[in-house]
Amino acid sequence: MSDMSEAPRIGEDAVGRMTNNRQFKLLADIPVRMSVEVGSTSLRLAEVMDLAEGSIVELDRQADDLLDIMVNGALIAKGEVVTVNGRYGIRIIDIAATENRLAGIERRG
């Protein structure tokens, strides 16, 4: 984890450039949920019920692996944790292929 207090952030210029494109204007104001997945594991219900303060659950990733950046449940990028003015942030390291990003937007029936 590194301190990114001086790092550039996505600003109004980038948003402005995207929304000047007619294709994006209709979609620009739609809210989406971004989340970062550190890792996962499978547990039996009995194991979940046994969790207490101080319990440790081992995840399926190495400490130096990149984290999954998800938008509405679809993988869009990989990144690493940084701190920005005392808050957590994520630095984008690798963007997912377009077809993978768009797969998450498809309506699920």
Q: For residue range 1-50, what is the model confidence (pLDDT) as tens digits?
A: 555 455 555 555 555 555 567 777 778 888 999 999 999 999 999 999 99
Q: For residue range 54-97, what is the model confidence (pLDDT) as tens digits?
A: 999 999 999 999 999 999 989 999 999 999 999 999 999 999 88
What does the pLDDT read at residue 108?
44
Q: What is the pTM of this model?
A: 0.64
H-state helical runs in 1-109? 12-20, 22-25, 45-49, 98-103
